[in-house]
Chains A and B, each alone.
Chain A
Amino acid sequence: MSIAQKRISRRKFMILAINAAGAGAGLLIAAPIVGSILSPIFYKSKYPWVMVADIQHVPVGVPTAYVVMVDQGGDSWQVPKVPRTVYVVKLNLINQVQLIALSNVCTHMQCDVHWDINLNVFFCPCHGGEYSMDGTNIAGPPPQPLFRYQHKLVGNTLFIRNVLVGGS
């Protein structure tokens, strides 16, 4: 092997090594960063039950707003609880009273909706979304009904969890 050929292969080796070192170091740095960026997808959350109200005080056919203090859902570090609004709705069906606990978060862009007594709809001021009493989207841009909190009754006391399920 001539010296010239040897030089070229040595040069090629060094260029290869530079690329390999760069790629290797890049991978070592990028892997934990990408992992940390993606990790919220895999967070395990705990959602304790929170007391809302005695349902005997909730009128039938009028959505009633209660503010409850909830955890952030254990998705990230613990901070003081934040308030959320729960609309408790007693629907008078043919034979029985159905109870639902609606989130007041619009399904379009997650603005806050409120029960409009005059229009008899849940109204979202952001882009004009409207929902009926049971949370069904009836006008404007919302793509789906209002979400519902998981709820349970202990005696007459209503409890909810900060877990939202699809409505209607």
Chain B
Amino acid sequence: MADELQRSALVAKLTRPVAGLMATTYRWVDERLGVTDLVHQLLYEAVPKRGAWAYSLGSATLILIVLQITTGMFLLWTYVPSTTEAWQSLNFIEYHDEFAAIVRGMHLWGAYVLFVVIGMHMVRTFVSGSYKKPRELNWIIGVVLFLLVLGLGITGAMLPWDQAAYWTATVVTHVVSYLPIFGTQVQEILRGGPQMGPATLTRFFAIHIWLLPALLVPMIGLHLILLRRHGEHGSWVNYEGVEEETEAERAKRMANAEAPYPALPSDPGYAVPMDLDEFFPSQVFKDAVVSFGLVLLIFVMAVVIGAPLERAANPAALNYVPTPEWFFLPLDQLLVQFPQAWMIPVGVFIIPGIGTTLLMLVPFLDRTPGRQPWRRPEVMVPALFVVLFLVFEALLAVNRLFNL
């Protein structure tokens, strides 16, 4: 906590543009709510000076999730979660309410951009070895957040109840029927019966707007609390040369350290970055630039392209070709490569399950000493192959779907 001198300096800073009654009011509120301490905790934190633009991906992810919650809230002003009215309500806004259509477009493009940014955030964390001690559990929380966002993406895709949504929902709720032993029962629970019906949409609506966000929001809180506890701990750019530095240089680096860095001497070579900066305004500036750019991109895409709405769901369709959302293309390709009986569960559960488990266990599988990517070929090379495999699978799926 800020000592008295720092504290009064901060109060002066926060009330600088105002005087008299406003400043008095601020002090009155501050005495009761502790605004100054809160601001101090939130804004005046030591962060690494180098690699700061790469660190803006995390805050961009947060901003984009807030954007999704905000636009989602106001989509509920129009959308009706019913098999008979969902499509009608969206068709109405697409042709009679330009602003609501932009909100819907921003919700869709916000999701697309979020997937890209969350992926870059993960790649950045992976390449810089930031998941190493003491941050192993925060990596796992990050993977869980990624899975929750994927779940939000796929459930959201079911809600318009147009052809794309209906067939997405059909395929997803049929995938679970390949679970061993309880497959059929799980499918009936998710569909509200053996076949797709009115309960199916209501369920996925509930999962999309309440169940998954209720899990997502506290997990984000935990992710951020742990981030602040550990500090931005371990991008190679902040530690270049630590292996070679002398004892005296290391002692000097440690002496310059600010909270939270000296708090965890678990890995002294990496405890404190080479140069420190203040979170506000240095880091917040970069975060703001990146996030603004992304929001602008999403707005432009929403206005120019918008969100598609196909024809209303037709369970009797004869020639409709459902194409999965682009972020599920690799999984869709696995469905083709693992045909028939027992191989289907291998493609839909075992291979993605092993992949997810390995992703979660990365901090424990990576036993290399350093953090620089070129010093950890044991993990970098396999990871590169996994990424290439996913891209290859997606390309195969695209090739298959567009050559029908």
Contacts and interface: CB of A to CB of B under 8 A. Distances in A.
Contacts of B192: 40, 75-76
A114 B319 contact: yes
Interface residue SS majority, chain B: loop
A40 B83 contact: no
Contacts of A83: 314-316
B193 A111 contact: no
A72 B200 CA distance: 11
Contact of A111 (B171, B191, B194, B195): B171
Interface in B164-194: 167, 170-171, 174-175, 185, 188-189, 191-194
Contacts of B174: 109-110
B199 interface: yes
Nearest to B182: A41
Interface string B62-95: 0000000000000000000011100000000000
A142 B189 CA distance: 23
B344 A72 contact: no
Nearest to A75: B193
B396 to A, nearest CB: 12
Given A108-B344, A112-B318, A141-B339, A40 B191 contact: yes
B316 A40 contact: no
B170 A40 contact: no
Nearest to A67: B316
Interface in B304-345: 314-322, 332, 335-336, 338-341, 344
Interface of B: 82-84, 167, 170-171, 174-175, 185, 188-189, 191-195, 197-199, 314-322, 332, 335-336, 338-341, 344, 400, 404
22 contacts: A40-B192, A41-B188, A43-B193, A67-B316, A73-B194, A73-B197, A75-B197, A76-B198, A76-B199, A83-B315, A84-B316, A108-B335, A112-B320, A114-B319, A126-B171, A127-B339, A140-B336, A141-B336, A141-B338, A141-B340, A142-B339, A162-B195
- 6 smallest CB-CB distances across A and B, nearest first, come from A75-B193, A141-B339, A83-B316, A72-B197, A76-B199, A125-B321
